[in-house]
Each structure stands twice: as structure tokens, then as C-alpha cells.
Structure 1
Amino acid sequence: MFCQYTAPPPIGISGIASPGHDRPYRFSFYSNALSATIHARSLCELPAEGQSFEDLFSGLPSPTSAANTWWLDIQSPTDEEMKVLSKVFSIHPLTTEDIQMEEAREKIELFRNYYLVCFRSFDQDPYSPTYLEPLNMYIIVFREGILSFHFQPTPHPQNVRRRIKQLKDYIDVTSDWISYALIDDITDAFGPLIQSIEYEVDSIDELVLILKEAEQSDMLRRIGTCRKKVMGLLRLMGNKADVVKGLAKRCNENWRVAPTSDIGLYLSDIQDHLITMTQNLNHYEKILSRSHSNYLAQISIEMTDANNQINDVLSKLTALGTILVPMNLITGLWGMNVHVPGQDTTGGYAWFSAIVAGLAAFALIGGYTTYRFMVRR
């Protein structure tokens, strides 16, 4: 039944269908009855030669586990694949629709034979153009196994499988534990980002008021970039704490498909981490908002000082002009064809000395008057 569909041919960079062996692995099957994880490009490639899907999913109980637990991780499922999986695992049409429509709202829903967890992660590749963009993870948890869906490459399934390999001798790997481990790994992915934001916020808060003018050119850009990152993480955090809290509450209810009570302890720990990270991000946003205001206030003070200096220079130039313009007017009149006092006098420079002394006295009186006027202001 799994192979009763035809997957669309993969398209290469040149637009030509790529050969089958060039396609990426989209299916990963883990079972504690198997010694290694099976990776495949299509559902038909999952079972070994001569093995049926029923044999693959049922397996044999592991010596360290009470029962066999399987996990099928699927990247970018097609419509045909979703139809087959929905029919085989009796997945409700609402769940199928949420996955196909890439429902972005984080939630938990209980159905007759499974529960669905929608949890958002983000693109963790810093060199990707979609870095920090939301990545939706859909987890369908049955009693005997788990189906996980995502539409972009993500390291979370591989991290969880590595964790299972390290802890399988100490824990009972159940479907509830795998779903918890996925949620926990998604939550832990926010830790390094929030830590780097904390360092950047502390640096901005310390430098915003002590930087020199030549060093302030990129401060506004740093503040804006950091605030954008904080708001993006707050959007990603969303109502994660409420979803985990709701899932933990289901552990105490008498639902056949609800997680067991011991998983509730793990989920409560995740909830505490989520609440703490959200509070920290809100605190960083307040610090950045204050630093932004302080930076703008610092710029305003510097501009006011510069304007005051310009006004002071202009006032001095105005005072100088007040003294020199009348003198220039007088000398200008004397430069015309008018009779100048003393021009007919021969011998000595009495008239010239008197005129120069008069101009000097006028300059001194005008300068003193201007000085007293400026001091009085």
C-alpha cells in the first residue's frame, strides 16, 4: 500500500529531472529493534529486500525495552504520500490538512488513537538566506511509534537520534519520550542565540553613552539589528510555554493516548526554560529600547552643542560686522568725489590722525557696547 503512488521526479538546478540516486534522503526510520537508522528517498525504499512494511514497523522487542518503538521522520511529504500515510495510520483529516497547509499555529490536539503536537523551530544555518525563519515541526504520537513531518532540512531529528544512542542503556525509549526529546531539542536551539543576544545587549548598554563621535557611526545599526533579532525570537517563542503546559496537563488525565505522568516532569522542565527565555528576551528588549532612547538623546545633546557653538561664532561675526560696516560706509563715502576735511591743508597729518583716531574711538566704543550687551544676555 505504501508504494501505490508515483512520487514527482526531482528537479535539478538546470530544471532537468535528476537521477534517483541524486535525490536527497527524505525518510528516516528509527526503531529500537534495529541496530541503525534507515534512510530512504521514498517510502518504497524503507523495507529491506523481501521485507514487508508490517515486518518493518512491528519488528521484535528490544532486549532493553518492554516493546518495540518506531519513529518515521519525513521531510516535505507530497500529497500522495500524505494520503497513503493517513489511510494506513488512520490519521484524522484535520491533522492531514494542518500538515499539508503547513499550519503555523503551535498547539496540541488529542485524537482517538494519537495526539498531535505542532511546534515551531527555525532555520539554524547562519549562511542561509532564510536564517531564523520559522520552521514548522508536526509530531504525531501513537502508543507504539511516532511520525514527524517538516518541510525544510533541520538537525533536530538527527540530534534526537544521537541522544537516544547515548542514553538508550539508561532510559526507556517510548514514543512519548521521543516527542519530548524533539520538543526539548527545539527549545535548546534557542539557548545559544539568546546567549549571544545577551552579550550584544550588555555591550550596547555600556557603550551607548561613552563612545566618541567617530565611534558612534554604527551604534544605531547595532541597536536596530539586535532589536530585530530579539523581536524575531519573541515571535518564534510565541505560545510555546502554553503548548508545553497543555501537554504536561494531559499527562495527568485519563486519556489513552495522553503522555505518561513521568514525561510530565520532563515537560515541566521545558516549560520553565521557555518561560525563562521569554522573560529574558522581554528584558533585553527593554534594555535595547532604553539604549535606543539614550543614543538618540546623546545625538540630540551633541547637535545642540554644535548649534550653540555655531550661534556663538555667528554672534561674534555679527558684532564684528556691526563695528566694521559703519566704518566701511564712512571710508566708502570718502572714496567718492566729495570734499574731505583737511584735504587742502598742506604739511602734517593732523587731519589724517584725527580721522583715524575718531574711527578707532568709534570701534572701541562699539566693541565695548557690544560686549556689555552680550554679557547682559
Structure 2
Amino acid sequence: MPRLPRPPLRRAARSRTGAVPAAEPDTPNVEVIEFEGLRWINIERPRAIDRAWLEEHYDFHPLDYEDVFSRNQRPKVDEYDGYLFVVLHFPVFDKRVNRLNAAEVDIFVGPDFLITLPNEPLQPLEYLYERCRTNEDTREDLFSKGAGYLLYKVVDACVDASFPMLRKMGLKLERLEESIFDEEANREIVRDLSNAKQEIINFRKIVRPQRTALKDLERTKRYVTGGMHIYFDDINDASERVWDMLENFKEVIEGLEATNESVLSHNLNDILRVLTAFSVIMLPLTLIASVWGMNVHVPGEGTVHAFWAILGLMVVVLIGMVTWFRRRGWL
């Protein structure tokens, strides 16, 4: 395999908002760190010119390049003669649309290189890369143990980044549980439950196929040999913990939805019970008024005493009906 030339270390300048300005259209967006014969090459949001740069310096399979530029690639581990090609997905919260999306990271691993190609900015990956670039001790610690160990640190950092997101989900579910019995928040709780459920579903869609890929990565015999199996087994354990938490969240959100439906049904039943009770109470009063309001001769017609007698009868009936309903617990 052709050897990679040694370009100078560089890091794209960041603005005050933390965004990386786009590279020039005719300039490959290639960032390189080299230490003790091992190179870490990071290409964020690879473009056609970046692919041309890779094809010029590395003899990767054409199907791998297609996978890098494909947006519908599933997590996987492909083993070739001389390198590994790994595709992984990690959850990223997009604040612009307030939803959880999957960020894909394509990784080439060889005996003396590690190439990461994230299609979206990944904070743990950027943080680890920046530490290696600026801190010599960190660079020595990660690079001196080979490409397999560096791959482990990259994947481990991205997997561990899921736990703060899961903790936020857990706190959100706790707040929703408290809000279910708050009458003032009942109008918003249904939408909040729907949003939380959608986040959990999206998270599960990202993590489920990833579990198989991480297990395949642990079983590979190239660059993951000897004591490295223990490290990648630790990643699998972390991935399983993520999945277990998502399973628990799924059960919790389903339970909260059922509880919220029960609360809404109970409130509706209370309203209907009260309305029905008042309708029944008013029924005899309406009957009395209708009988004495008929266009026929009735006892006491045209007298003031009859009016007050009928009105008193209606008040007595009303008080009696309300007292009876309250004793029965219907009001």
C-alpha cells in the first residue's frame, strides 16, 4: 500500500460560535496528526475532492468509497487485505429542528493509520482529536499503543457520549411523570409525551443495528488482538447499558401514556358525572314548571299565592335532590 506523505499538522480555524468554516472548493479538508509512525486523519463531511485525495494516497476498495458517500449505510465492519472498514452511527441532537438524528462515522483502520470521516460534527470525536493535537502526553498515550487502541478510544468516546443524553431523557420522563397529575399542564402533557416517545424511538433506531456492528468489531482478528479484546468488550458493555436504559425508557413512556389516558378518562368521567347529576336535578324542576305553565286551567291560576307555593315546592325539590345526590357521592 502506498505510503502517505507527511502533510503539516493543521486545524481549521473556528469562529466564536464554534463552527468550522468550509474549506475552499479546490482544497481537501484533511486534518492529520502523526506520532511514532501512526497517523490519525480526520475528514469532516467528506466531499468529492476529499475522496480524490484518499484515492490518490490509499488503495481502498471502490465499494468502501461508495459507502462513505452513501446516506443510507447501516453500521457494519468489513475486513479487507490490509485494513478494516467500519461504519458506525451515533445519536446527535439537532437543535435547529429539536430532534435526534443519526451521525454516521466511516472509519478506515490500517497498521499505521486511522482515518475518520464523520458526515456530521461529533463533539466527542472533535474533543478527542483536539486533545491529541494540542497535548503531547495525550498524543503519546493514545498513539504509542497502535491503531487498534486509538480506534478503541475514538469509538469509546462516541459511545460514552450517549449517557449524558440518556440522563437528560430520564430527567425529562421524571418531569412528565410529575406533570401528569397537574391539572394546569394536562393540555401540554400529551404533546410532551409524544415528543419524548419520538426521541426514544429515534435513539433505539440508531442503537439497535449498532450493537451487532460493535460485536463484529470485537471479534475481528486484525488490529483487535490480544489484550485489545478486553477494551472492545468494554465498549460492548457500554452499548448494552445504553440499550437497557432505552428499554427501560420505552417501558416508562408507555406506562406514562397509559397513566395519562387513565387520568384524562377519570377527569372526563368526573365532568360527565357532575353534568349528569345537575341534569337529573333540574329534570323535576322543569317538569313542575312545564305542568303549571300549560295553556289550560290549573289550580291557583292567576293568584300570587300559587306562584309562591310552586316556587317553594321547586326549592324544596331542589334541596332534596342535591342532598340525596351528595349522600350517594354523586356530587
Query: Taking structure 2 as the reference length, what is the TM-score of the superposition?
Result: 0.78
Name which of 111, 126, 143 aligns with 1:158: 126
CA separation in 1, counterparts of 2:22 and 2:71? 28
Q: Which has the larger radius of gyration?
A: 1
Summarize the Cα distance change of 1:342–1:96 in structure 2 as closer, same or farther, 3 Å threshold.
Answer: closer
Summarize the Cα distance change of 1:123–1:131 in structure 2 as closer, same or farther, 3 Å threshold.
Answer: farther
1:1-377 equivalence runs, <5 A: 26-32=29-35, 62=36, 68-124=37-93, 127-129=95-97, 132-164=100-132, 165=135, 166-170=137-141, 172-208=144-180, 210-211=181-182, 213-251=183-221, 257-329=222-294, 332-334=295-297, 356=306, 367=317
Identity %: 13
CA separation in 2, counterparts of 1:123 and 1:288? 21
CA separation in 1, counterparts of 2:243 and 2:214? 14
Q: Is the 8 A contact 1:135 1:150 kept in 2?
A: yes
Output the aligned Cα RMSD.
Answer: 3.7
Q: Which amino acid letter does the alignment assign opposite residue 149 of structure 2?
A: W
CA separation in 2, counterparts of 1:306 and 1:161? 61
Summarize the Cα distance change of 1:137–1:361 in structure 2 as closer, same or farther, 3 Å threshold.
Answer: closer
Summarize the Cα distance change of 1:262–1:131 in structure 2 as closer, same or farther, 3 Å threshold.
Answer: farther
CA separation in 2, counterparts of 1:199 and 1:341? 71
Q: Is the 8 A contact 1:69 1:144 kept in 2?
A: yes
CA separation in 1, counterparts of 2:168 and 2:121? 24
For structure 2, the 5+ residue unaligned runs are 6-20
CA separation in 2, counterparts of 1:236 and 1:151? 15
Give the deviation of 1:341 after TM superposition.
10
Give CA-to-partner distance per residue, 1:195-230, whole Å, 9 cap, x none: 01111112323442x32x223222222211211111
Aligned length: 302
Give CA-to-partner distance per residue, 1:116-159, whole Å, 9 cap, x none: 110112445x5334753211110000101122212333334432
CA separation in 2, counterparts of 1:154 and 1:114? 24
Q: Is the 8 A contact 1:69 1:145 kept in 2?
A: yes
SS of 2:278's equivalent?
helix
Query: Taking structure 1 as the reference length, what is the TM-score of the superposition?
Result: 0.69
Q: Which amino acid letter does the alignment assign opposite residue 198 of structure 2?
A: K
- Bigger RCO of structures 1 and 2 (CA < 8 A, at least 6 apart): 2
Give CA-to-partner distance per residue, 1:137-187, whole Å, 9 cap, x none: 100001011222123333344322245435345452421122212211211
CA separation in 2, counterparts of 1:327 and 1:333? 9
Q: Is the 8 A contact 2:99 2:199 kept in 1?
A: no
Summarize the Cα distance change of 1:192–1:360 in structure 2 as closer, same or farther, 3 Å threshold.
Answer: closer
Q: Is the 8 A contact 1:123 1:130 kept in 2?
A: no
Give the deviation of 1:311 after TM superposition.
1.1
CA separation in 1, counterparts of 2:43 and 2:276? 70
